[in-house]
Structure 1
Amino acid sequence: MIRATERLFLSAALPAVLAACSTTSGYPSLAQRDVERIGGSATPIAGEQTPEEPALPPASADLVTRLDGLVAAAQQTDAQFKEQQGPAERAVAGAAGAAVTSDSWATAQIALAALESRRGATVAPLAELDTLYAEARDAAPLEPSPSAQAIEKSRTQVSDIVARQDGVIESLAARLRS
């Protein structure tokens, strides 16, 4: 039987004996090769021009039609907003100084809510334009494509309508609170 000290000696000597059996002749060297060294320069060859990037295609007819439809939808809801704006202004003026529990104040609140509803209908095309713009910018992230520019133009038109509606609603709400 092998004693504990012999077992300890054999377990310590085993890695050394196995290392002696190995060889390095069949494996490539890990030293740096000539082709791995950096050489040359980054200067272009004289007379050689870098190719220009191809121009991005113009906005498609389908996209332009869709944008026109979204702007038209926003303009239509704006026309409805303007129709409701006059009665809302009269209702708010009639509620000036009235108690919060009065019928005139409730009528003014309902008219203001109708305006906010029309504004919400105007924001829907703006949200779709925002989505289209984000997709167009993802497709050409370095510079705005003609499609992104067309979308931005429509976004600006609809955003201006929404901003004007916001101003009207804020003004009427402030008059109603005071």
Structure 2
Amino acid sequence: MSASNYEAVYLEELKECLEGMQLPPLKDRSATCRVISQKDKKTMVTIVILSSPSSQIAALLEGAKQQRESVFLAFNPDWLERVDNDLYLKRGIWMSADTSQVYLDQYKPPRRVSYFANFFTKISTFGQHDEGEHLSKGLCCPMSLTNEEEFNDKIWMRAALARSMISFPKTLAFTYK
């Protein structure tokens, strides 16, 4: 099944998740592009999770509490655009902490991705998805999951985010020798 076919399946899955959590239904505002000002463009944080909705709805909820309109769920790689070593979000789903309303918005110009969590790789889906693998290679932004082992270190990644002054959820880590 192609990524565009998954989009309809994942929209239905998101609808079911929201109903199950007794949250308002998704508002699709993607017919009208949201314009980003030059001032906002420079200070904007954009955390993108490329994944199915059911496995990442908790991250979307927590992201809404951390910083408004900064954590996005994308379940189609076509919602992202790669330009050299940068990644941009063209469409994304985010949640408002005030109202628990979930929105699907389209951005023009696209938002530059500050942090990328790619769950559409063979490694993270046990071979079921590979549609997102081309997006991760050589990116200049921090990433949660990559094909490169040194970047899969969650504690190091949290430290890198903190140094870059990017908000991230609190982490409880256990280490052993």
Q: TM-score normalised to the size of structure 2? A: 0.22
Higher strand fraction: Structure 1 or Structure 2? Answer: 2
Larger radius of gyration: 1
Which structure would you say has the larger RCO, counting Cα contacts within 8 Å and 6 or more residues apart?
1
